Structure 1
């Protein structure tokens, strides 16, 4: 792998069950167990996975369609079932559903026409997140020497 292909985040514990992930550009997102004692509605890691699945495809589809017309509605619903079986805890039945609308006009007609193809292309080859999940890439977990 090259330096250009490497992607990384650092996850730091902020308190019991609560964490902040920081990317190489300094962006942050907080998450945890979903039971924020301060009343916040933090995301859980599973919800972040769902957001990554929807977000990755949404970016691809937005780039392809919005060059023709600005959407009047662009929403992506991502669902799945969390189960525990002989394979351990995991998600099944993952589904990404787009709800996109465009106003009238020639550009909007082109955007509507390419929408299904853009969703399929993202799912089949462009979206790194869904492609990684579907191909079943192994994950290695290690502990650094303290």
Structure 2
């Protein structure tokens, strides 16, 4: 388990770090060189899906796996209506039956193992603690 800390490093500039030494710049939406908090959420759900699917996809079709998550909400809204995730990989060498089997396997793995998408479906409380 890992906690993440987000520290202010400048005006509207922050850095998120974990206890393994990784870091990512965080800023307001549209700020150059950083991820907005919503983009980090999108990266988390797409990252979880692609990490979960990686071995399954690689065994059947090789490299070239990518994931994309989209920000779906009305302009100016402060919550997402949905977080669609798309995986992309080349299935041209597979038969229809092999494609269907891979689709089922990948969907099942993500549904059962992807902590981020499972958590979003559950919508757990997010208590805020202040000094």
Bin of the TM-score, shorter chain as denominator length: 0.7 to 0.9
Residues of 2 paired with 1:138 and 1:18: CA distance?
A: 27
Output the TM-score relative to the length of structure 1: 0.75
Where does the alignment leave 5 or more consecutive residues of structure 1 unmatched?
1-5
* Contact in 2 for aligned 1:84/1:90 (Cα 8 Å): no
- The CA RMSD over aligned residues, in Å, is 2.6
Distance (whole Å) between structure 2 residues aligned to residue 140 and residue 84 of structure 1? 26
- Partner residue of 1:32? 27
Q: Residue 70 of structure 2 contacts residue 84 of structure 2 at CA under 8 Å; is this kept in 1?
A: yes
CA shift for structure 1 position 113: 5.5
Q: Across the two proteins, how many residue pairs are aligned to each other?
A: 130
Gaps of 5+ in 2: none
Runs of 4+ that moved beyond 6 A? 108-111
Separation in 1, partners of 2:88, 2:60: 17
Kept after mapping to 2: 8 A contact 1:11/1:21: yes
With normalisation by structure 2, the TM-score equals: 0.82
Identify, as 1 or 2, the structure richer in strand: 1
Once residues 65 and 103 of structure 1 are traced to their aligned partners in structure 2, the CA distance between those partners, rounded to angstroms, is 13
Quick one: distance in 2 between partners of 1:135 and 1:81?
19
Q: 2:40 aligns to what?
A: 48
2-structure distance, mates of 1:47, 1:33: 10
